[in-house]
Structure 1
Amino acid sequence: MSELVQKHPSGGYILEELHPGMYAEKEVLVTEDRIGQFAEASDDFNPVHVDEAFAAKTAYRGRIAHGLLSASFGSAVVGTILPGAGAIYLTQTLAFHKPVRIGDVVLARISVASVDETSARVVLKCEGYVGDDLIMDGEATVRVPRRRRPAKD
């Protein structure tokens, strides 16, 4: 059973609160500024991302966003919504299916696939969509806290 969840009031879900079927989503508009900032942060200035004249001559017929920019929207869901604060990435696989362009709205959807209580690890299904089109998917394994830290007085 699927259950859309919002950010936990504490900032993050603990291991015992997670179960398969939980999912969270975030929509992000891809802009010229985001692509430029990602190029600066990653030092990836591939002209297919930053040079329209170059990109127009490629199979994509214009600029496309960095694949990892779109993937980072899923990372934002993992770090801030599901599981949220305290989750630590251990592994991530990704497959990219369609390009993302300036003006596209990417929907990042993260779903709990399985929970391993012994190792405090959670396997997450990661998907990205533009409209109805699946643009990327993969799987992440994250470590999740077992309990919350007590509030400081």
Structure 2
Amino acid sequence: MEIVTQHPSGGYILEELHVGMTAETNILVTEQRIQQFAEASDDFNPVHMDEAFASKTAYRGRIAHGLLTASFGSAVVGTILPGAGAIYLSQTLGFHMPVRIGEEVLVRVSVKSVDQESARVELDCEGFVDGKLVMDGVALVRVPRRRRPAKD
């Protein structure tokens, strides 16, 4: 595993990517994030929004939307690895544990394969809370072959 940071240009091009490149970030799940995600997605399921309701479920309290947690992977893909210019084509997801308000999610995205011919890259995406896997999946993204020339 080779940890990388954001490319100076904002995004890696296809020829710069190789298997094993990995980017990580930590994102805190807050009340505000859950509220904003509910508004953006129109998902106001009370297991996410209503403590009284959620306390009577198997989760014994409110949990974050699974797709909110998954969107943290999108943040890494769109801003760090591959970064600017990467376009999602597909994403598989598995949710293994609930994520709660106040928990910090370590998101890790790693290059799994690079197809030079189709300009497509497979990325392993994982999320951890306190070292425990909470979600995982594989993203398929299209990556630019070259950078746009700078405008004068």
Look up the equivalent residue of 1:143 and give its one-letter code.
R
**What SS class does the counterpart of residue 106 from structure 2 fall into?**
strand
- Aligned residue in 2 for 1:112: 111
| C-alpha separation in 2, matches of 1:131 and 1:118 | 39
Measure the CA separation in 1 of the matches of 2:77 and 2:115.
17
In the aligned structure 2, how far is the partner of 1:34 from the partner of 1:151? Answer: 35
Shift of 1:61: 0.2
2:18 is the alignment partner of 1:19:
yes
The normalised TM-score by structure 1 is: 0.99
Aligned length: 152
1:43 is matched with which residue? 42
Deviation, 1:88, is 0.2
Which whole-Å CA distance do the structure 2 matches of 1:94 and 1:28 have between them? 18
1:131 is displaced (CA, Å) by 1.1
Q: Give the share of equivalent positions with the same residue, in percent.
A: 78
- In structure 2, the gaps of 5 or more residues are none
- TM-score normalised by structure 2 residue count: 0.99
Runs of 4+ in 1 over 2 A off after TM superposition: none
TM alignment of 1:128-147, pairs within 5 A: 128-147=127-146
Cα deviation digits, residues 35-54 of structure 1 (max 9, x gap): 00000000000000000000
- Which residues of 2 match residues 53-132 of structure 1 at below 5 A? 53-132=52-131
Partner Cα distance (1:75, 1:86) in 2: 13
